[in-house]
Structure 1
Amino acid sequence: MFQNLIISDELSINNFFKKLNFDLYLTKPQLRHVESIMNAMISKGYNGKISDVAELASQRHRTSTTRFLSNSNWDETLLSNSLRSQVLDLIWSKSRKTNKPIYFIIDDTISEKTKPSSKAKNVIEKCSFHNSHLKGKIVYGHQILVSLLSCDGLVLPYSIDIYDKDIMSKIEMTQNLINSLPKPENKGYVLCDSWYSCKAIFNSSVEAGYSYIGALKTNRVIYPEGYKRLGIKLNKFATTLKIEDFDLVTVKNQEYYIFNYVGDLKDIKNVAIILSYPKESFQKEGALKTFISLNTSLNPLNILTQYTDRWAIEPFFRDCKSYLGLDGYQVRSERSIKRYLAIMTINYTYCKLYSNESHHFNTGFKLAQNDLKKAKVIWIYNAAASGEPVAKIFEYLKIA
């Protein structure tokens, strides 16, 4: 409603839509709906309530926004694919200019929901029970698989999907995402946590032209000298080593003892595996962390340093849950949820680019939020200066 009064055309949501060719896939009223939802997210830090969109957008009623998400005739995958193409262009351009590697980061999170009663009629679709590592218990909700692309500090979302075990496993979903990538401009790495470190993902990464660096479960079996026939679990092998066998290194201002094993796992040959302890917790119970690299020519410190790029996905989850309603969305149909997640990802990317050179979500979000507030004040001033009755202004602002 107010945005175009103060925000430059280059930074406006309308111009962002034009760059993504959204006018090919949405009618003008549909574009205004998407813009209203995005502005509502930006205006107050969104908690997922559709009523917030109606409150913040003139001539928008809660039911019209609900109908737009659930019944309107448009294809959210076209918007997501257009955004994906733009992200690929930005990341590959960054890699060409800087000669830096491209990282493809994959992880999942849970959007927890309240379990409905047995008598509930309008339940949220695609919800099920999932193991929450964060809470250490089984929770009810959606498990959402996210992938990001990163190069030289620029981190942008590539995909967001609801995991449904009845349709496809997370490993298969991840393989499909890796296979969809173009070959990296320079070097490319797939970065994952230990859940995804398996033969299928290793192979898909190599076939797509990427190396793989990931965490590894400490109960995986290796075959070092003396254990060639039966092998030994990583956590058991670590207890056979002395502190003199380890190197003390610094990664992101933290010191670690690390040991580099080059050899075989049961499902893959000739890999580098790093055994790591925090300096103050050497061989303490539960302190061991292990990491794998398919590229054995990388030195251990390089492997650990590159793995830390995986943590870029944690701020994505935090920001989307805190500001864009990833934890609190209240739409119920599968179609509505997919559309909501698509718009949320579009908005996240918009805020990243709104921050200009910093490419920080929080910076862009606050800049866009402040510009919307300023535009609202300017609109009120202009309306009053032009003789608009105060009652009409109140009505338009929905505070009559």
Structure 2
Amino acid sequence: MEGLDHHYSHSDGKTVWSHCVVTAHLVSEEYSFACDFRSYFRKPYCEEEGLTFKSKNDLAIELIKDYESPTDEQIYVLVDSWYTSKKLVDACAAKGYHLIGGLRINRKIYPVGIGVKISEFASKYMEKDDTRSVTAGDHTYKIYEYEGKLSDIENVKVLLSWEDVFDSSESPFCILCTDCSLDVVTILRYYDVRWNIETGYRFFKDLLGFDHYQLLSHKGIERYWCIQFLTYNYLEYQRQEWKQPGIPMTIGDVVRRIRKDYLGQIVVYAYEQGLSKKPLADVLKQFKLTT
């Protein structure tokens, strides 16, 4: 297969022989659509194939630049810690978007005008009274809220969070937000939308076979992924049509319902053919089955 290389898999916790894609997902109110993707190739592969190398951040910036909001509503770009770079923050700002994303603890903050890594600040200089309890959804967190400079980014809000209890020996989970007007609960609520997106990509793999293909050309593979995106978005539209108030419905529920309905249609068809006295051999032939 074209384009295969060694890429780090976060779900497997190791490097695997695979393809790699950078994707964009669009969430608006209750709707969640797979929007676009870019194939990522490592630099050695690009040099071998005569391709222009683009980092994952470069590809993410392309996706951001290509998206045009149909409304004047504020857009928030949600990313993991791999993408909270100055380049990507600036790309969002140029489009009038804000960014909310995970932040690595080796990044520097300036709580008293002196730069210190988040990991060092949390373990050496913070005390329990510096945090406050915040409840978002079904979870309670101990939060330290910082607003100010972050390394090479001028003014942001950073949340250092521990679930339930502050513990200086435990590394905090950190969230960066470029919209300093948002309160802590709103930032957590917005960032939590990423969980639904991650779940959606799990359905891509488990139910739609996003990573199950046997195609040699990378162009063919990308066409296959396009079909996958279209299928996912059809399922999301159907999910909105079928869901009922107070009863949660996932993409997985939609897939299982469609499969069940399809099986029912086959049974009805076979029954109707029996009533019309059609030979069994002909019916089996239509289903490409043998006795």
State the TM-score, normalizing by the size of structure 1.
0.65
- Separation in 1, partners of 2:78, 2:37: 16
SS class of match (1:270): strand
Q: Higher mean Cα deviation, 144-153 or 194-203?
A: 144-153
- Separation in 1, partners of 2:73, 2:113: 39
Match of 2:66 in 1: 180
Letter in 2 for 1:128: D
- Separation in 2, partners of 1:280, 1:143: 37
Match of 1:75 in 2: none
Match of 2:49 in 1: none
Partner of residue 346 from structure 1, selected from 213, 230, 242:
230
Partner of residue 202 from structure 2, selected from 318, 321, 325:
318
- Separation in 1, partners of 2:169, 2:286: 64
Match of 1:384 in 2: 274
Match of 2:127 in 1: 242
Matches within 5 A, 1:162-177: 162-165=39-42, 166=46, 167-177=53-63
- Separation in 1, partners of 2:135, 2:169: 19
Q: 1:218 to 1:328 in 2, by over 3 A?
A: same
Q: 1:282 to 1:160 in 2, by over 3 A?
A: same
Deviation at 1:268, TM superposition (A): 1.1
Deviation at 1:161, TM superposition (A): 3.2
Match of 1:307 in 2: 191
Match of 2:103 in 1: 216
More strand by share: 2
Answer yes or no: is the 8 Å Cα contact 1:148–1:155 preserved in 2. Answer: yes
Matches within 5 A, 1:82-121: none
Which ranges of structure 2 fall in alignment gaps of 5 or more residues?
47-52, 244-248
Match of 1:191 in 2: 78
Q: 1:348 to 1:294 in 2, by over 3 A?
A: same
| Greater relative CO (CA pairs within 8 A, separation 6+) | 1
SS class of match (2:38): strand
- Separation in 1, partners of 2:85, 2:257: 42
- 1:294 and 2:178 correspond: yes
Partner of residue 329 from structure 1, selected from 200, 213, 219:
213
Partner of residue 140 from structure 2, selected from 255, 268, 272:
255
Answer yes or no: is the 8 Å Cα contact 2:64–2:92 preserved in 1. Answer: yes
Answer yes or no: is the 8 Å Cα contact 1:277–1:283 preserved in 2. Answer: no
Match of 1:201 in 2: 88
Deviation at 1:250, TM superposition (A): 1.2
Answer yes or no: is the 8 Å Cα contact 1:130–1:139 preserved in 2. Answer: yes
Match of 2:155 in 1: 270
Answer yes or no: is the 8 Å Cα contact 1:238–1:283 preserved in 2. Answer: yes
Partner of residue 137 from structure 1, selected from 11, 14, 17:
14
Alignment RMSD: 1.7
SS class of match (1:269): strand
Deviation at 1:171, TM superposition (A): 1.0
SS class of match (2:146): strand
Which ranges of structure 1 fall in alignment gaps of 5 or more residues?
1-123
Structure 1 runs (4+) deviating above 6 angstroms are none
Q: Higher mean Cα deviation, 355-364 or 126-135?
A: 355-364
Deviation at 1:263, TM superposition (A): 0.9
More helix by share: 1
- Separation in 2, partners of 1:160, 1:294: 24
Deviation at 1:226, TM superposition (A): 5.3
Letter in 1 for 2:288: K
SS class of match (2:78): strand
Letter in 2 for 1:380: A
State the TM-score, normalizing by the size of structure 2.
0.88
Match of 2:35 in 1: 158
Letter in 2 for 1:155: S
1:291-327 per-position Cα deviation (integer Å, ceiling 9, x unaligned): 1111111112221221111112211121111111123
Partner of residue 374 from structure 1, selected from 249, 261, 264:
264
Q: 1:315 to 1:207 in 2, by over 3 A?
A: same
Q: How many residue pairs align between the two structures?
A: 273
Match of 1:398 in 2: 288
Answer yes or no: is the 8 Å Cα contact 2:111–2:148 preserved in 1. Answer: yes
Answer yes or no: is the 8 Å Cα contact 1:274–1:291 preserved in 2. Answer: yes
Answer yes or no: is the 8 Å Cα contact 1:354–1:368 preserved in 2. Answer: no
- Separation in 2, partners of 1:133, 1:209: 31
Deviation at 1:162, TM superposition (A): 2.4
Answer yes or no: is the 8 Å Cα contact 1:147–1:157 preserved in 2. Answer: yes
- Separation in 2, partners of 1:188, 1:288: 27
- Separation in 1, partners of 2:168, 2:210: 38
